[in-house]
Chains A and B, each alone.
Chain A
């Protein structure tokens, strides 16, 4: 009688232990499913906020870079235009100078 009580107690303990493990496993699985199902949940963690700020900074930097490149391109166009105009002025001067060459007359 005493032996059967011991076995009964051990059996109950095993059953309870098994039930506890099953419950814990269910919790973990539920949590994992929840994480996978809602990756972009509105909940903002500190890491996410930092990432957002970095993204915004990068975006601003990109915009600045694009603007700088546009400015540089514009400056380059203006410089080339000025240089070409300068070259054309020099070409006109050369033509005028040589066009004014005069041998004159022998006089005899």
Chain B
């Protein structure tokens, strides 16, 4: 019984102490702001290059899609189908393409600024602001890509309707 009481007392004394010790040793409390900034600059360069490649691929895909849709609409019209709704989808896709290009440019411009950060003088507040801004701009770009992927479903539905009409 005495042993249990002794263990309980020791536990009450040492467990909180260990917790405090662990907090003091945590890396978050001792992150080197310069190293963190340099990591951000490096990431910005990587994202910049990756975005460039990805955006070129996305733009190429949308352009090719519009060409294919134009060919589809022309052919379907020859077969007497009503393609007005699909034409409207194509216009929407064209609008999304312009918006995506603008969003992409905003992301890249911001990354360019981040790449040129002076890590010796950058404050923690400036760092947080830049990262938050980068995430926000990227979310706008991601939303645009999501809208295009949703439009893909709509286009598929309208194409299927036209094909059904032609086959009847």
Contact = CB atoms under 8 A, between A and B. Distances in A.
A92 B69 CA distance: 11
B149 A87 contact: no
Given A93-B68, A106-B138, A87 B54 contact: no
Report whether over half of chain B's contact residues are helix, strand or loop; otherwise say mixed. Answer: helix
Given A86-B75, A90-B72, A108-B43, A102 B57 contact: yes
Contacts, number: 101
Nearest to A80: B79
Interface string B27-60: 0000000000000100110110011001001100
Residue with the greatest number of chain B CB neighbours at <10 A, chosen from A95, A99, A107: A107
Interface string A80-108: 10011011101101110111111111111
A13 to B, nearest CB: 90
Interface stretch (B13-21, B115-123, B150-158): B150-158
A74 to B, nearest CB: 17
A98 B163 contact: no
A50 B33 CA distance: 112
Nearest to A88: B163
B106 interface: no
B134 to A, nearest CB: 5
Given A84-B166, A84-B167, A101 B148 contact: yes
